[in-house]
Structure 1
């Protein structure tokens, strides 16, 4: 059975950096995000790792893991919220104490999604793929990003509904940030490989494919065991987002996942909008999606609100979801059961 944490108003947020920390020149960004959380009624405890960054990591792997383990075991910390992602979170996995984790949410994306997926697969505890802490530093959040609180405050055996965004951000404009951080200018349109309305159901699993693909073949990525012991054979809906991969690198990663059995009993796959997806020798991202859809005989939905092209929904690893797509608009209903 999936264990669902619950976020209460006034909770204490533990900010730790199991991947990248924040360099000194950007400390103001993190301080602004922490200040915004305090205005929302939360308490903040920042670990040492969030304030340092060198050689593509916040600190040595053992130090990052020790701080994370302490916050996960600490009864005075209710919710783990890293500042952002990074590059080398995979180094900490062997030092993470999966056996003694308290039931509490962890929220993030990008490199953080590797730890999120590993936690859910290893322990059966739900984890949350969604906004970064630093992206909540604005005067307000757009309606989709702001749903993180509602989703994490959903009780066990209850459900929460999210709808696709109206607009998304084409590119960052750091010289003219919006009051909600993102500059949402482009019309959102969810698409599919099957050219019709889509309705799929199953347990959500996923993350940033650049990083979670490295769980394949390890003890931290045993999807088969998770399906047999934690979701009683329910089908899986995978959600992915691509940060930097070309179409051929993405294709190789997806084939590897297929060969490893990750897509067995899969009812559908969703892909977020991407700043990458660079075609190689005329092999386009749409063709990657169509090839995979044909091989697995399942619908693929793409350009969803997930990942490095904001805004994004909050997807819960382990939750039972009903996904509907019609006329370019998507509905995600997640059941905490």
Structure 2
């Protein structure tokens, strides 16, 4: 059985930088996000790692792990939202106390998705792939981002429905944030490798391909044991997003996952929008998706609201989901069962 945390009203958010911290010149955006969340009724507890960043990490692996472990066992902290992602979260995994983790949401994406997936695979506790802390600093939330609160407030046994966004942000303009941080000005269009209407369901697992493929072959990437122990061998519906990979990098990572057995009993694959996906000698991401459909015999839905090209859905590792897309629109229903 999957364990589903529940976010209560007035929750205390623990902010810890399990990957990158925030350099001095950007401390103001963490303070802005904290102020906005306090206006919404939350309390915040920021760890020391949030405010430091040296050599591509907030602190040593041991210090980051200790702060995370402490917050995960602290009854005064209700959920964890790191400030953002980074580069070297993988250093932390061997120092985490998975056996002592309490049931509380961890929300984030990018490098943090490695932590999310590892926690769910190791413990059977659901984790939340979605917005990070600094993107919650706006005066208001766009409709897609705003769903993080409803999703994390869903009771165990309940269901929650999300829809594809109307618009997405093609390029970041960090110097001129909008009232909801993002500049949503490009029409969202979900697509499928078949070009037809698609309906697919299964247990959600996924994250940023750049980092989570490094879990393959480690104790933290044992998908088959997870399926056996926690979801009664149900099929997996994978969701991925690509931060920096070329198309051939992406294909290599996906083949690695396939050879490791990650796609056994896979019902389908979802891919988020990407500003990367650089073609190599004419080999495009559409070619990658078509190859996957043919090799695995499952549908691929792509350009979904997930990852580094916002806004993004709140997708729950471990939840049972049904994803539907037709005529460029999408619907995601998640059951916390």
Compute the TM-score of the two structures, normalised by the length of structure 2: 1.00
**Does residue 335 in structure 1 map to residue 329 in structure 2?**
no
Alpha-carbon distance in 2 for matches of 1:75, 1:242: 35
Map 1:74-223 → 2, pairs under 5 A: 74-223=74-223
Alpha-carbon distance in 2 for matches of 1:174, 1:254: 32
Deviation at 1:195, TM superposition (A): 1.5
User: Gaps (5+ residues) in structure 1?
Assistant: none
Alpha-carbon distance in 1 for matches of 2:81, 2:193: 35
**Does residue 242 in structure 1 map to residue 264 in structure 2?**
no
Alpha-carbon distance in 2 for matches of 1:291, 1:167: 28
SS at match of 1:13: strand
Deviation at 1:174, TM superposition (A): 2.2
Deviation at 1:173, TM superposition (A): 1.5
For residue 226 of structure 1, what is the aligned residue in structure 2? 226
Deviation at 1:176, TM superposition (A): 2.2
For residue 55 of structure 1, what is the aligned residue in structure 2? 55
**Does residue 69 in structure 1 map to residue 69 in structure 2?**
yes
SS at match of 2:72: helix
Alpha-carbon distance in 1 for matches of 2:80, 2:268: 29
Compute the TM-score of the two structures, normalised by the length of structure 1: 1.00
Alpha-carbon distance in 2 for matches of 1:44, 1:109: 19
Residues 88-147 of structure 1: per-residue CA shift (max 9 Å, x gap): 000000000000000000000000000000000000000000001000101001000010
SS at match of 1:240: strand
Alpha-carbon distance in 1 for matches of 2:314, 2:31: 23
Alpha-carbon distance in 2 for matches of 1:290, 1:117: 26
Alpha-carbon distance in 1 for matches of 2:158, 2:75: 25
For residue 278 of structure 1, what is the aligned residue in structure 2? 278
SS at match of 1:220: helix
User: Gaps (5+ residues) in structure 2?
Assistant: none
Map 1:2-41 → 2, pairs under 5 A: 2-41=2-41
List, as ranges, runs of 4+ consecutive aligned residues in structure 1 with deviation greater than 6 Å: none
Alpha-carbon distance in 2 for matches of 1:33, 1:211: 26
Alpha-carbon distance in 2 for matches of 1:175, 1:137: 14
Paired residues, number:
337
Alpha-carbon distance in 1 for matches of 2:145, 2:325: 20
